Copies of this chain bind each other. A is one copy, B any other.
Amino acid sequence: MKKINVGLIGCGTVGSGVAKILMENTDLIRARVGADLILRRVADIDRKRDRGIRFDEGVLITDSYKVVDDPDIDIIVEMIGGEEVSRDMILRAIHNGKQVVTANKALLASHGNTIFREAAGKGVDLAFEASVGGCMPVIKTLRESLVGNRVKSMIGILNGTCNYILSKISDEGCTFKTALSEAQSRGFAEANPSLDVDGLDTAHKLAILTSLAYGMEINLHDIYIEGISNIAPLDIEFARDFGYRIKLLVISKNWENAVEARVHPTMIPFDNLLSNVNGTFNAITITGDAVGDILLYGHGAGMMPTASAVVSDIVDLARNILSGAKSRIPLLSYQMNHIRKIPIMPIDDISTHYYFRFSALDRPGVLSRISGILGDHKISIKSVHQKGRKSGGSVPIVMLTHIAREADVRKALSEIALLDIVSDRPVLIRIENENQED
């Protein structure tokens, strides 16, 4: 039986899952690959932790260099996380001519252009399915299944923590804080949750996907990011009344010479499958010129689902080695010389539907002043709703708009915020309809 030697750096939650699959599903993998994948070395600074795995003597070590530099190892799996050590280890593995698997989205979003260039230069494969959407095969779908399509748009839920929190607020009417504590106590959110709830983790994933979909360099910095910490139960309730749910979405659209790439809480209609994706699940709709819409759905995180995606990458690389395939698929989906610098549109330039909520004094003329300012900025109102009158205090005025330009919306909202009849800062939530013509 042929053998492929695998070295694992970092044996935390996902790393342990990878080790478990390789060691427990050995027969299955042999029956499918026609070779044995041997976990030859595992490096982790914590050798004592109980992982529920019995490694053979000498497999579990502390020195990562002994993995990356081992001449017998064919494939290096980087599961350290972080951006410094992981980058150095991956570059060293590439330099050593090894095939590499990683799930490190933060690293790829920040240093991917360099890393992929190095790998391509050395003719080394670097697989990263688990970096986006956990076990959903979104990277394989973009690089392989949609190869004949011009990707027109991608809209998805790519952060399980945020989706859990928003589902919980929606189901139970609790506050963001309560939902976050619950997520933390159930292990769905970190002690420091900002990477998730502020949207940066989601943006890392979107940066990778836009590159693969459109053949552009990875560009994290120009992605517009808004997190979920300001979402009020009241807005979720109003959304429901209008037939929408609020999700933290990645939205990316291809305008050929520029693309949209943004991460923000968004209202989507009930009949959009994404609105029915609840709890910690992830999902993404990709629209191509030939396929129309396709949607992928699955666990976006968690030990075994993420490990499953890592193992599929290991097998892909093993199959390349076993069949003698070199550079079979370009790393970033397009041949290196076809990857362009395509600009991401500033948020001011996008156009979409909007939901506004104003806290206004309950006086005659309020509506006319607010709608007047909106009209001055070419924002056309689709409907106005004044709900739950408060005697004496302020009342919420909710508006849904036709398609408007973000720059106009921002100007109008700053003017409205200055009105003496408006108390709190106006709330703005973008709406994504399948049919955005009007």
Question: Residues on A close to B: CB < 8 A?
Answer: 17, 21-22, 25, 28-29, 31-34, 129, 135-137, 140-141, 144-150, 215, 271, 273, 276-277, 283, 288-299, 302, 304-305, 307-309, 311-312, 315-316, 319-320, 322-330, 333-335, 338
Contact = CB atoms under 8 A, between A and B. Distances in A.
Nearest to A149: B308
Contacts of A283: 295
A336 to B, nearest CB: 9
Contact of A28 (B150, B295, B309): B150
Nearest to A33: B147
A187 to B, nearest CB: 16
Contacts of A293: 297-299
Q: How would you classify the secondary structure of chain A's contact residues: helix, strand, loop or mixed?
A: mixed
A137 B147 contact: no
29 contacts: A21-B148, A21-B290, A29-B148, A31-B338, A32-B334, A32-B338, A33-B147, A137-B145, A140-B145, A144-B312, A145-B308, A145-B312, A147-B312, A148-B312, A149-B308, A273-B273, A273-B276, A273-B277, A283-B295, A288-B308, A291-B298, A292-B298, A292-B302, A293-B297, A294-B298, A319-B328, A323-B326, A324-B325, A325-B328
A290 B315 CA distance: 15
Contact of A296 (B292, B295, B307, B323): B295
A297 B297 contact: yes
Given A296-B296, A308-B291, A330 B140 contact: no
A431 B362 CA distance: 53
Contacts of A338: 31-32
A132 B295 CA distance: 16
Nearest to A18: B148
